[in-house]
Amino acid sequence: MARKQGSHSDITGPRVRDAALRLIARHGYAAVSMRQIASEVGIQAGALYNYTPDKQTLLFDLMRGHMADLLAALEAADLQGDSLSRLEGFTRFHIRFHLPRPDQVFVSYMELRNLSDENFAAVEAMRRTYEDALESILRAGEAEGVFAVPDPRITTMALIAMLTGISNWYRAGGRLESDKIEAIYWDMVRRAVTA
């Protein structure tokens, strides 16, 4: 265990992923070479293959890692209470998680087309798990008579698109603080779904 602490792989692995994320977000997967990623990290192109077998695996690791972080953070958020409280919790959680990760949001949406079929299916399944968490809150509220949501699946997609869209215009240090944004969006979400 002591050997792993601060080992070459520990330090360089995250730097490879950071560089790949930054370059792919800026130029697109197809335009970025393993050589460019290695150069950005400051290692030889050959050494990059110690960290990832190929570019497809690197892309998949980025997208799967993003979804795994999201699902783990949602579980840690441990949304409790009635359906309205859980919907508020989900809304605020979604904004807080995505706001500091614009590159991940962009790459996760844009590069789905460049995943192999198998990798696409794996990422889609994780995305579906996340969507299902919101959908189950909406269905519970509908059953309780608190929400009026004629098609919970569509409403799920609509709310996630609305909330994730903040990444298109939000810039840290801009006109609005993150907590003000949360309040405005939660107000819209609540009104859009309550009976």
Find out whether 126 and 71 touch, Cβ atoms under 8 Å. Answer: yes
Residue selected from 2, 53, 80, 113 as contacting its own copies according to rule CB under 8 A: 113
Q: How far apart are CB 28 and its own copies at their closest, in Å?
A: 4
Contacts with its own copies by CB under 8 A: the residue count is 35
| Residue 72 interacts with its own copies (CB under 8 A): yes or no | no
**Is the Cβ–Cβ distance between 90 and 134 less than 8 Å?**
yes
Q: Is 110 in the site for its own copies (CB under 8 A)?
A: yes
Residue 28, SS3 per DSSP? coil
Locate all alpha helices (DSSP H) within the chain, ordered by sequence: 8-27, 34-41, 45-48, 55-77, 83-98, 102-110, 117-144, 152-164, 166-169, 178-193
Residue 152 DSSP SS3? helix
Per CB under 8 A, 193 contacts its own copies: yes
Nearest residue to 111 via CA among 26, 24, 17? 24
Handedness of CA 169, 175, 178, 181 (dihedral sign): negative
Position 21 contacts its own copies (CB under 8 A): no
Instruction: Report, in Å, the least distance between residue 7 CB and its own copies.
Output: 35
Q: Which is nearer to its own copies, 43 or 105 (CB)?
A: 105
Under rule CB under 8 A, residue 192 binds its own copies = yes
Alpha-carbon gap, residue 126 to 173, rounded angstroms: 32
Choice between 8 and 180, CB closer to its own copies: 180
| Closest distance to its own copies from the beta carbon of 111 (Å) | 9
Q: Helix or strand or coil: residue 41?
A: helix
> Residues 149 to 188: which contact its own copies by CB under 8 A?
150-151, 154-155, 157-162, 164-166, 168-169, 176, 181, 184-185, 187-188
Q: Between 43 and 159, name the residue whose CB sits nearer to its own copies.
A: 159
Residues forming contacts to its own copies in the complex (CB under 8 A) are: 26-31, 109-110, 113, 150-151, 154-155, 157-162, 164-166, 168-169, 176, 181, 184-185, 187-189, 191-194
